[in-house]
Amino acid sequence: MATKKRTNGAVLATAYEVLGVTPLDVSLVPRIEHLFRGLGGKQKVFEYLAGSEEKEARAIVELRAKVTPDQARVLPFEAFCVAAGVTTKRMIGLIQEEVFAQSRVAAAILKDSSIPDIVKVTVRQAKTIAGTQEKRMLLQSGGVLPLPKTTIMPVYGNLNVDQSQKMQVNQVAVLPPVEHTVQRLSDRFNERNPTTMLALPGPDDEDDEGEEDEPPE
């Protein structure tokens, strides 16, 4: 055990020299490596950063390539940040962005690759006596049966509907912004109930709750 510690210590000292930083420099920056446990560890984080186009991430990846696998294993991740001149706060933000971006791509690939299997299962079920709903779905998707007239795509504001989306629906309901709808309902209520006004609070309204009127002089 003592021999292993001495070996790791020697490897770590050499690794610091390769990066051109000192343990004191690294001890002065906020630690973030403990946050990598849920991502699969430090090595997985390097893999995520390898897919980033940000210059700070590229600098970290280039520094990782300068050390051996053993040196990268014993070096704290913060040492790479110090050597690259990147704050650990900035780096954790880049890691988060890259994990999110790559996860979305991976999810899209998984979804698209699953479509053939889902279609096979749907077709298999549609060929059975109980597969009435599956039959309808397949015939509607193929254009043999029309989509129901109640198929509506709600669109708020002035958003444009893509042509491909228009082909998939029979009606497109362009709805006004939510705040306009609330105001219209308020006006309608006030018209029907003139003695009971429904006032919507404005941005300049102050909370007068708890204040008492001053007595007349």
Nearest to 49 by CA among 30, 36, 34, 31: 36
Nearest to 82 by CA among 44, 32, 154: 32
- Write out the two tokens for 133: 């709903």
Alpha carbon distances (Å) from 78 to 48, 115, 159: 16, 42, 45
**How do the domains of the chain map onto residue ranges?**
2-103, 147-195
Tens digit of pLDDT at every position of the chain (217 positions) = 666 666 788 999 999 999 999 999 999 999 999 999 988 999 999 999 999 999 999 999 999 999 999 999 999 999 999 999 999 999 999 999 999 999 999 899 998 898 888 888 888 888 888 888 888 888 888 787 787 776 555 554 444 544 444 444 445 555 566 566 656 666 665 665 555 454 545 555 555 555 555 555 5
pLDDT value of residue 146: 83
pLDDT value of residue 201: 54
pLDDT value of residue 185: 63
Query: Using an 8 Å Cβ cutoff, are 93 and 32 in contact?
Result: no
- Write out the two tokens for 172: 């497109």
Angle, CA of 130, 136 and 142, to the nearest 5°:
135
Query: Using an 8 Å Cβ cutoff, are 19 and 75 in contact?
Result: yes
- Write out the two tokens for 185: 């309902």
Nearest to 134 by CA among 146, 124, 149, 144: 124
Task: State how far the Cα of 71 lies from the Cα of 190, in Å rounded to an integer.
Answer: 74
- Amino acid making up residue 55: K
Answer yes or no: pTM beyond 0.75: no
